[in-house]
Structure 1
């Protein structure tokens, strides 16, 4: 009779214990599912600014500097997908100004991020953001810059697949696949596309890359050793064409004006398996190049122009 008296109570206690255990296991499982995978990301939230500390500066040529900023820890990555960029903000006197930059270091790089800065000579035409670029490039070691992002409508997912985010709220994002990545860059426009090319060539799939890199003179070619290393390590999958306005004697690459015929002859075939990525600073070269691309029969749906 005593057992009969306490049996309902024991059943209630056991049921409560089962509920508690199931609830706890559910919370643990949910926590495991939502736990971040991989290294911590610095720019996990585009709305949250971060202050990064300058740790190294390299003069690339008389106009260009490479700046390296430390991430919050040696294990952090920046958290910017290939094809996207960040905003660097500087307070100059009473005025706040920003400039967009693509990292030239890989998205997988831990502990730091690298950017390129090109500064014009006094008296030359200033580009938008020139004051911010000059200020940031003049920072000393351990000084900081504010960084926000990532921003941009292009994301590379790997395995030859790119996602293009629509600027129109009424249009859906779309995905394009490629077997051949064609890239046209000029001057400091190499910053965004070099990590992109390196990632594509480093994948196990047999993708191909072709780069048409446009500059005024041979001395203006940036990251040349990196590009030639990629040619040497991927001779069957990477084609490099260096195009100059004015080439030295014996130059074996391209020279002269960029025309639709130059672009058409260079573009890999068939177009249906090629994705064309264009990146270059604002100015006459950009306008001429985009006009030349428009003069070809390359499908617009497989063309993406990165922001200036």
Structure 2
């Protein structure tokens, strides 16, 4: 027990922070159990990260050897697992890199889940929560690029997944040619390559309710509640962020989502969303609205309106942040004026 206390004292003496912003503030005032597995990696020169189920420490590398010696000398059952930091695939907004398609899965009548492989399972894509990438292709002699948000989190190694709706020609009279990139993606076969660059985006979610907004109105926002209002494939950045929050052991931010679609068959990732809701009922709730409801539909019908927002979203406050993503007409005519009418400040409304 004395040697275990020495190990704990060494970590406390040199730690930079704990999971809760400091050992004492995070409620960690005891030594880790003797069967703890402590993982050590080296993301910064001269510093080491110790990560166990009990806490997180950042300490100088010079201390690591001494701590390990104390543990080994006393036969303490503490396993030190050394690993390299993950390799990041993306190299910036101006550098295009090839990814090879490894799987295509049809999700709905017009939406496909594309899985692209990274160079190896040592790589992560390198997209912070709230950011996106651009996919590039040469289509009919034109260089085309479009932004897309992965539905996989950035701790997903070796692969990245995109959920993409195809805008086909002669379907929407307002856009008879359809979408160049989405129709091109539908023609890809497994083994074909696409180019990707990034990350891009003005919104960065740092965790535990903290947003950093870049651009002309750069600011930081601290949220206890998040309203996610999305339509169609506007779900994808919300889904990425939703999983990021709910997968965190420390993030207690509450989320209310309104998801608008043309019809019930258009609701993307419904099973996954409702599983997340059922597993995190105190933290996440979801409400649907469709323009063409089926029989026995128990959710809303029609466009997002003030009554819907009032009943199913968190009320306006300094710590309520509203995230919007969907068709421009939905945001302009339905979301923004009705949020303003309910007292939400424009500073607390972020659009992907």
* TM-score for the superposition, normalised by structure 1: 0.82
2:224–2:254: 8 Å Cα contact kept in structure 1? Answer: yes
Q: 1:115 aligns with which of 154, 162, 170?
A: 162
Which residue is equivalent to 1:91? 138
CA distance in 2, matches of 1:160, 1:222: 25
1:208 partnered with 2:257? no
Residues 129, 249 of structure 1: alpha-carbon distance in 2 compared, 3 angstrom cutoff = closer
Q: 1:157 aligns with which of 187, 191, 206?
A: 206
Q: Which has the higher helix share?
A: 1
1:184–1:277: 8 Å Cα contact kept in structure 2? Answer: yes
- In our comparison, the structure showing a higher alpha carbon Rg is 1
Higher relative contact order structure (alpha carbons within 8 Å, sequence separation ≥ 6): 1
Which residue is equivalent to 1:269? 315
Residues 86-106 of structure 1 show CA distances to partners (whole Å, capped at 9, x for unaligned) of: 111110132111111111111
Residues 23-60 of structure 1 show CA distances to partners (whole Å, capped at 9, x for unaligned) of: xxxxxxx95469x9731111133322111000000111
1:238 partnered with 2:284? yes
CA distance in 2, matches of 1:269, 1:180: 9
Q: Which has the higher strand share?
A: 2
Residues 163-189 of structure 1 show CA distances to partners (whole Å, capped at 9, x for unaligned) of: 0002x3xx6x31101111110011011
Which residue is equivalent to 2:226? 181
* TM-score for the superposition, normalised by structure 2: 0.72
Structure 1: tracts of 5 or more residues without a match: 1-29
Which residue is equivalent to 1:25? none
Which residue is equivalent to 2:121? 74
Aligned residues: 272
User: Which range is displaced more, 291-300 or 105-114?
Assistant: 291-300
1:98–1:129: 8 Å Cα contact kept in structure 2? Answer: no
Which residue is equivalent to 1:15? none
1:249 counterpart SS class: coil
Which residue is equivalent to 1:148? 197
1:240 counterpart SS class: strand
2:94 counterpart SS class: coil
Which residue is equivalent to 2:37? none
1:271 counterpart SS class: coil
Residues 72, 281 of structure 1: alpha-carbon distance in 2 compared, 3 angstrom cutoff = farther
